[in-house]
Structure 1
Amino acid sequence: MNIQMTRLYEAAEALKNLHSQAEVARALNVSAQVINNWEARGISKAGLINAQTVLGCSASWLESGVGPMSLTTIEPANVSGSMRVEQADRDNTNFVHIKKVKLRLSAGVTGFQADPEFDDGGTIPLDPRWIAKHKFVPSKLIAIKVKGESMEPSLHEGDIVIINTEDQKPVDGVVFAVNYEGEAVVKRLSRDIGEWWLTSDNADQRKYHRKMCRNGECIIIGRVVRREGDKI
């Protein structure tokens, strides 16, 4: 049996008092064949997120065995000191709550630390179906607040953006969070004359001119995958 399924059965029994394959399948609303496939090949990403939502266990723990079993104490596996994904209410399994954080960066250093942002509840609730649709890993998602007016009208100051730290491959025309000389910035990447550039959406390009993104001065933190804001 795949080790991920061993962990799944352990969590199902410990957290939901489920003792058989049939009980687990019913709880997760999947067929016995799906369970058999997982036992042979491992749990799909959508299955990991579904199990996290239904059982209250950590998808990261199910996948890798790293960290605690319980969802309420998930630590991301590869980002030291960064956000935790947890449910604000242990009885509420309808949403995955992403911690809002402030990034602490160092110029030229890959990786980051994140301090909790406690205003407005301190978390962003996301529908697990949306997460599963895009095949995101919750422990790789962080939420930060947009600063300044450089990305208007696409992003406004105070907007919250969700960043997928697992996706750091530069793509022309896509918005990323970037460590630029030790400062966390949200910019659109552009490819021109054989170089990558950080560009702003603001029409005032004299004030918000593009900056070259190369070497250790410009390190991608992750791709912006969602915006939460009040302005339309």
Structure 2
Amino acid sequence: MLEESHEAANVRSTLDRLIAERRESYSDISRLIGRNSAYIQQFIKRGTPRKLDEEDRRVLARYFGVSETMLGGASVGAAPPARLRGLPAIVAVPRLALGASAGGGTLDEDERAAGVMAFDARWLRHLGVRPQRVSMIRVDGESMAPTLSDGDDIMVDHDDDADRLRDGVYVLRLDGVLMVKRIAMGPLRGRFSVVSDNPHYPDWADIDPALVDIVGRVVWTGRRLN
């Protein structure tokens, strides 16, 4: 029993150290494994639950790039290396606590992370984005239908800003209003139009770039099928 208690304490200490090294929060790591925001803190600080669920342990090991044995997994034969080889690195991409409106626009200055979504780091590189420079935002409204629908999650590349502006779908602020719209470059250098894909919503033609703050380019979208 003492040996089991010592092992459990080591697992909690190891997980606490890994979280600190990544500068993550307990709540974000809890959301990463689909648990309530206090789950990991209770596990580390109170020992509740006594051990990690097998699937939770697998996700955490892949995310932190360590062997499952370091997080309480059973050891079979020789101990595996501390850092895994061959498994994809998992990146936690923040979901921002705001909605990018595809309707009339929303005023919401609260850009704190409201959780995370896990992605394969190699897949993100395949998209051509840096993992630390993307975030997920929810779409509100139907002005970009059928391209984007109300409730879609969009991945925004914050490196792809005004300096790299080209035709495409962007999250932007116009007169302080956050929205997701299509940018259509104009014939005059530096001028562009802000376009709604849904013809029932307004466009802003040949707009002064000084009026627009480019948040980032939309590079991927995911949606729930009803």
1:115 to 105, 109, 112: 112
CA contact (8 A) 1:72 1:87 kept: no
CA contact (8 A) 2:156 2:218 kept: yes
Within 5 A, what are the aligned runs for 1:121-200?
122-168=115-161, 169-172=164-167, 174-194=168-188, 195-200=191-196
CA contact (8 A) 2:91 2:121 kept: yes
Q: 1:193 to 1:132 in 2, by over 3 A?
A: closer
Please give the alpha-carbon distance, in whole angstroms, between the structure 2 residues aligned to 1:86 and 1:163: 23
Please give the alpha-carbon distance, in whole angstroms, between the structure 2 residues aligned to 1:140 and 1:154: 23
Please give the alpha-carbon distance, in whole angstroms, between the structure 2 residues aligned to 1:142 and 1:86: 18
RMSD value over aligned CA atoms? 3.5
CA contact (8 A) 1:180 1:217 kept: yes
Deviation at 1:217, TM superposition (A): 1.6
Please give the alpha-carbon distance, in whole angstroms, between the structure 2 residues aligned to 1:131 and 1:186: 21
TM-score (norm 1): 0.53
CA contact (8 A) 2:193 2:203 kept: no
Deviation at 1:71, TM superposition (A): 5.2
User: Structure 1 counterpart of 2:61, which letter?
Assistant: D
Question: Which residue pairs with 2:81 in the alignment?
Answer: none
Q: 1:86 to 1:188 in 2, by over 3 A?
A: farther
Higher gyration radius (CA) = 2
User: What is the percent sequence identity of the aligned residues?
Assistant: 22
CA contact (8 A) 2:95 2:135 kept: yes
Question: Which residue pairs with 1:10 in the alignment?
Answer: none
Please give the alpha-carbon distance, in whole angstroms, between the structure 2 residues aligned to 1:159 and 1:188: 16
User: Structure 1 counterpart of 2:124, which letter?
Assistant: I
Please give the alpha-carbon distance, in whole angstroms, between the structure 2 residues aligned to 1:219 and 1:163: 14
Unmatched runs of 5 consecutive residues or more in structure 1:
1-14, 16-55, 58-67, 74-83, 105-111
Per-residue Cα deviation, 1:40-88 (whole angstroms, up to 9, x for no partner): xxxxxxxxxxxxxxxx69xxxxxxxxxx742526xxxxxxxxxx99982
Please identify runs of 4+ aligned residues in structure 1 that moved more than 6 A: 84-87
Please give the alpha-carbon distance, in whole angstroms, between the structure 1 residues aligned to 2:225 and 2:210: 35
User: Structure 2 counterpart of 1:221, which letter?
Assistant: V
The yes-or-no answer on 1:227 pairing with 2:221 is yes
Per-residue Cα deviation, 1:142-161 (whole angstroms, up to 9, x for no partner): 11111111100000011010
The yes-or-no answer on 1:97 pairing with 2:92 is yes
User: Structure 1 counterpart of 2:111, which letter?
Assistant: A
CA contact (8 A) 1:101 1:114 kept: yes
